[in-house]
Amino acid sequence: MSKPLPEGLVYLPGFLSRAQQENLIDLVRTGIKSAPFYQPRMPRTGQPTSVIMSNFGQLGWVSQQSGYRYDPVHPVTGKPWPPIPQELLNLWKEVAGWPASPQACLINWYRVGSRLGLHVDADEDAKSAPVVSVSLGDKALYRIGGINRNDPTRSFKLSSGDVMILSGGARHCYHGVDRIYPRTSTIVPKGGRINLTMRVVR
């Protein structure tokens, strides 16, 4: 019997239509003109991550050798991040169940071979606010466990157009992306998976 999903995890497969997905990709392509993708580095080791990223919003999540933080400007260009598109803010209002709007929307691009190790999103002051995640492009094998790193985990595939909300207990669970399945979608022009993650920071 498979491990049940953590309390507070809401999985909405196929929530976005093809047209909605394509529109979000167009918005990402516009956003990265002023806030281009960059390759974060892991704290302590300084090694580059396999995922490249950008951000929408008043604040953007930044990972550098000096540590993790939210910052109002792009770490390479020094310019403010582009605002979160209204379409994403509307989605937040529809599914998040939270009174405040997100201040950050991470744009992560998983290319062939990219993965994201088990971690907890803990750099926000608003630790009880939900995280809303949108999958676009190639399928991904997502894994989630418990509040301890060595807790048992459950894995399932995320497809383009899926939306997931981490709230309640699930908000504090370890989770990650084990692999990307290449050429399982045609939504992302250069292939791979785009993950949009909206967060209330403060």
Which candidate, 124, 122, 118, places its Cα nearest to that of 104?
Answer: 124
The residue behind tokens 């207990």 is 169
pTM, rounded to two decimals: 0.94
Given a cut of 90, whether residue 195 has pLDDT beyond it is yes
The share of the chain scoring above pLDDT 70, in percent, equals 97
Domains in the chain, start-ordered, CATH in brackets? 9-199 (2.60.120.590)
d(CA 175, CA 197): 14
d(CA 171, CA 89): 20
- Specify the pLDDT at position 60: 96
- Specify the pLDDT at position 1: 38
- Specify the pLDDT at position 47: 82
DSSP assignment of 64-127: ETTEEEEESB-TTT-PBPPPPPHHHHHHHHHHS--SSPPSEEEEEEE-TT--EEEE-----S-T
The helix/strand/coil state of 23 is helix
Question: How is residue 172 written in tokens?
Answer: 């504090």
Amino acid at 118: L
Model confidence pLDDT, tens digit, residues 101-140: 999 999 999 999 999 989 998 888 888 999 999 999 999 9
Amino acid at 172: H
Which candidate, 103, 116, 110, places its Cα nearest to that of 144?
Answer: 116
d(CA 158, CA 178): 11
Model confidence pLDDT, tens digit, residues 42-101: 776 778 889 999 999 999 999 876 678 899 999 999 999 999 999 999 999 999 999 999
Question: How many CA atoms lie within 13 Å of 157's alpha carbon, on the beta-carbon side?
Answer: 10
